[in-house]
Structure 1
Amino acid sequence: MKNINKLVWVSLLSSIGLWAITTGSVLAVNDEPHADGWAPSEWGPDDKAGAVNRTTPAMVLKAVKLVKRGKVATLGKVYQQDAPAFGSRGWRLTIPGLPTGGPFGDQALVYNDEYLSTEIGQIGTQFDGPGHIGVITSKGMFFYNGRYLEDPDVGTYGLGPLGVEHVAKIGFVCRGILLDAVALRGGPLPIPKETSHSDPGIITDDDIKEMIRRQGIDPI
């Protein structure tokens, strides 16, 4: 019985040791945010939006004056199954049954529903909010403007003061540069298959320089 107890304790201690090793990186801390005064931001300790505060009415008016031809360019990427994605993330939309339900009533009503399986981060067009990137410090997980994931108003069903909705309330209206990679390559680019400059779907820094030169917008 004593040997069994010893075996149990050895197994338990081994498990604790293994857990400590495998989670050692989680316990590492970086106190630069405290030492270097990362918070409060230049917009004060209560700010939740960040750099979008630079979108002032004066900047909006200045940006609008740059419009010459009134052409519209779609910046968003259509969500689709073969969209470029980070790592093994993916996007899959299916219609469960054609139709999903029905018929109902005298008019034989039918309907379709959608089933979506995806990670919404880094799928196609990406927009990061104040709660996207943080640093583990000795006081907790530090995020924008000195807020912590451990704060009571930050939760798994909404990041509260770190939510992207605070950025959206102000929005971005500013000058943009549209580079025509399709014209440069002589046609649509294929979906990248690897992170290599040799992949025809990858736009390189040399491509960007050449597009700037061809479009006559140097310097930006």
Structure 2
Amino acid sequence: MAGVIVKICGLSTLPMLEATIAAGADMAGFVFFEKSPRHITLETARELGRVAQERIRKVALTVDADDSTLDAIVAALAPDLLQLHGRETRERVAAVKARFRLPVIKAIGVAGAADVSSAAAFREVADILLFDAKPAPNAAVPGGAGTVFDWELMRGYSSGDWMLSGGLDPANVAEALRLTGAPAVDVSSGVERERGVKDEAKIAAFVAAARKGGAFF
């Protein structure tokens, strides 16, 4: 591989998107989940999607969305990939992939070794598995909310394409890559100056650190 793949998620404005493209990230993630501070409307998705077209791979993140919701999102953003970040079953992931004929990223919450093992159930239906810190049982928003899980759990993991997420930032991404050998990383809160607001300098620093940290690929 030429290097680690970098995804900046939770983009909601044109300056955030332009900073992500300028930094050289591979994927731009857009959140469609109203409980999230990073949620964008379909109108915003159309605007950002036009700017991103053919400049960076667009990822639409949803949480247990139904078909009609996904239809509207795909029509507005024209994503290159769909990210399913809820409690979607293996069957639901397969159905989404078949309906939209787009690569699917399935998020897996990790708190222990059993969670990593459970990801095998999705390997044949998802194109990429994204390992994130498991949220608290009653959390309003899925995902690790900027928390780190034990990276040792991922050491030597080599079952297909996967991404490391959860608590990454410019200061720790190189170490995370060294420990896990992850082929791709995903960040959201780790490049923000306040909740939901990305910092252009942090985006650039994260991408640079990930490229340096992934130089062994």
Larger fraction in helix: 2
* TM-score normalised according to structure 2 size: 0.22
Which of these two proteins has the greater Rg computed from alpha carbons?
1
When you count strand as a share of all residues, which structure comes out higher?
2
